[in-house]
Chains A and B, each alone.
Chain A
Amino acid sequence: MTALVLVEVENGAVRQASRSAVAAASRFGAVDAIVFGDGAQAAAALPGVTRVLSVPGLVNDLAEPAADLLAARAKDYSHIVAAASATGKNILPRLAGLLDVQPIPDVVEIKDADTFVRPIYAGNALATVRSADSIKVLTIRGSNFDPVAAEGGSAAVETVEAPASEKSVFVKVELSASDRPELESARVVISGGKGLKDAANFKLLEPIADKLNAAIGASRAAVDSGFAPNEMQVGQTGKIVAPELYIAVGLSGAIQHLAGMKDSRVIVAINTDPEAPIFKVADYGIVGDLFEVLPTLEKAL
């Protein structure tokens, strides 16, 4: 059995979530990688990857040509795998549609080549499902699989022509500039909720994030209130994170938020309401006014 992994490369480096996807796919046997745009060399350096299909002509991850290309190659593979990222979730279900298979998104555990565990109901239940499809199309929750190293491999690279995209055209992309680590791969995440009261107060998280080299996240309520951009949202409908340390500031811990962070190793909660559900999952809690606690925390670090 050979698996094909859609590997995402950003600024010359393979995204951690994709390295986790390679680690997961290695369970099935040999692993080929496919890279859209530049970055085939970064994928070729991943341990465990035997061959890289490089598609330099497909630069913007458009789902239509990407899925067409994957479908044309699918018969060589038992499993087609991607990270459960925005890219993976856009392209892989479309591929499954072309292949007429039922995709299996957000896999958190692999039982065997046909059997997978995935969260349902915002992570309030875990379903174990067995697939009868001959080609399995999976997306992998990065937080549940230790990533392979970024270097150590030396796969052969084969260049592949990109199919044309007539129905879908890339217009532009606006990425928010940040020097901080990515939310999904940061060792420490500090997230703010509605308790921060406005967008300006979100800056109060920055000095602490600086000291801990942390990524900054936000609850859906904070995003809905316009305190933070959507790409910072942690939760069922945002990013799923599992850092070593998660610090929740002024957020109550709605079910949908917990779904995005409850697998963190250590959780700290700072909230004025001692009954807030976030304390039920927190290892350490401070009941208090975040506007008083944050400055003292910054000093104590």
Chain B
Amino acid sequence: MKVLVPVKRVVDYNVKVRVAADGSGVETQGVKMSMNPFDEIAVEEAVRLREKGAAKEVVVVTVGAQAAQDVLRTAMAMGADRAILVRTDDTLEPRAVANVLKAIATREEAGLICMGKQAIDDDMNATGQILAAKLGWPQGTFASAVTVADGRIEVAREIDGGTEVVSLTLPAVVTADLRLNEPRYASLPNIMKARKKPLETVEIDSLGVDTASRLTVVSVAEPAERKEGVKVNSAAELVEKLKTEAKVI
């Protein structure tokens, strides 16, 4: 079975983003970029499936500019076998990304797509589900554990009150939640090795898929700031203020 792992290059999770002065988006110039943390978990899970013998090959794919190559190299340093960069300078919505990924998954004859549940830039939490729908595959979203056996995949899912387990036919789409695993660090020898692994570039137009945007960003603004409050000296004083000043208890 071939596992396809879509990854995204995003503003690093430690960066405090700033809204651009013209309200068109957030500042990304000179900002540290990394692989989306949920996607790292997805790469790790795919590599573990191969190490366990449940998968034969792990292929990572990203949709983005030339610079997005660095997250593909990171994924290969973690153990992915090869990579595909679908090159575009446009920012694509999840629907458009799903169209691209469907084309790649079909070409690669992927048996499983394992991806992060959400990108930490647009926080959409949608691409995996849209892709599953477009492929006509079942989906196991917000996965905290997966087991592949007898042509099916069992997925433990994080739900509001606890955990749910579903069993899906393969091929399927799984989206990774935080507790699925702890991604490994890429060792220096593996980083060196990853430089020699194959990285194919595909021009997005050559796929012939609809990548138009359906949403127009009218504006991007800073959220209202909370005012810093006061320090109190004791629990008794706190309770007093909550009763008389905030009137909340």
**A interface vs B, CB < 8 Å?**
60, 62-64, 67, 85-87, 89-90, 92-98, 100-106, 115, 118-133, 166-176, 184, 188, 212, 220, 223-224, 229-231, 236-237, 239, 244-245, 255-256, 262, 265-268, 274, 279-287, 293, 296-297, 299-301
Contact = CB atoms under 8 A, between A and B. Distances in A.
B65 interface: no
Interface in B119-151: 120-134, 137-139, 141-142, 144
A225 B139 CA distance: 28
A173 B17 contact: no
Given A172-B165, A173-B164, A293-B235, A93 B94 contact: yes
A165 B160 CA distance: 22
Determine chain B's interface SS by DSSP, over half rule: mixed
Contact of A126 (B16, B157, B220, B230): B220
Contacts of A286: 231-235, 238
B129 A230 contact: no
A80 to B, nearest CB: 14
Given A126-B220, A231-B161, A296-B235, A121 B120 contact: yes
Contact of B121 (A96, A120, A279): A120
Interface string B196-233: 00000000000000000111111111110010111111
B133 A67 contact: yes
Contacts of A299: 235
Given A104-B215, A245-B242, A173 B163 contact: yes
Contacts of B177: 230, 237
Contact of A124 (B16, B128, B141): B16
A297 B242 contact: no
A106 B122 CA distance: 11
Contact of B169 (A105, A166, A281, A293): A166
Given A93-B125, A286-B238, A102 B95 contact: yes
Contacts of A237: 118, 177-178
Ordered nearest first, which 5 A-B pairs have the shortest CB separation?
Answer: A97-B133, A93-B129, A97-B130, A283-B229, A93-B126
Determine chain A's interface SS by DSSP, over half rule: mixed
B133 A132 contact: no
Contact of A97 (B17, B132, B216, B231): B132
A236 to B, nearest CB: 7
Interface size range on B against A: 35 or more
B21 interface: no
Contact of B216 (A130, A230, A280): A130
Contact of A173 (B165, B217, B242): B165
Contacts of A126: 220-223
Nearest to B129: A93
A274 to B, nearest CB: 8
Contacts of B241: 284
A229 B163 CA distance: 10
B246 A283 contact: yes
Given A130-B218, A230-B158, A284-B230, A172 B164 contact: yes
Contacts of A104: 215
A104 B125 CA distance: 10
A166 B167 CA distance: 10
Nearest to B102: A97
A230 B179 contact: yes
B141 A63 contact: yes
A204 to B, nearest CB: 13
A100 B238 contact: no
B129 A284 contact: no
Interface string B53-71: 0000000000000000000
A293 B239 CA distance: 12
A271 B138 CA distance: 45
Contact of A121 (B11, B231, B232): B11
Contact of B249 (A103, A245, A279): A245
Nearest to B20: A125
Given A126-B223, A172-B164, A297 B246 contact: no
B17 A265 contact: no
B103 interface: no
B164 A120 contact: no
A294 to B, nearest CB: 8
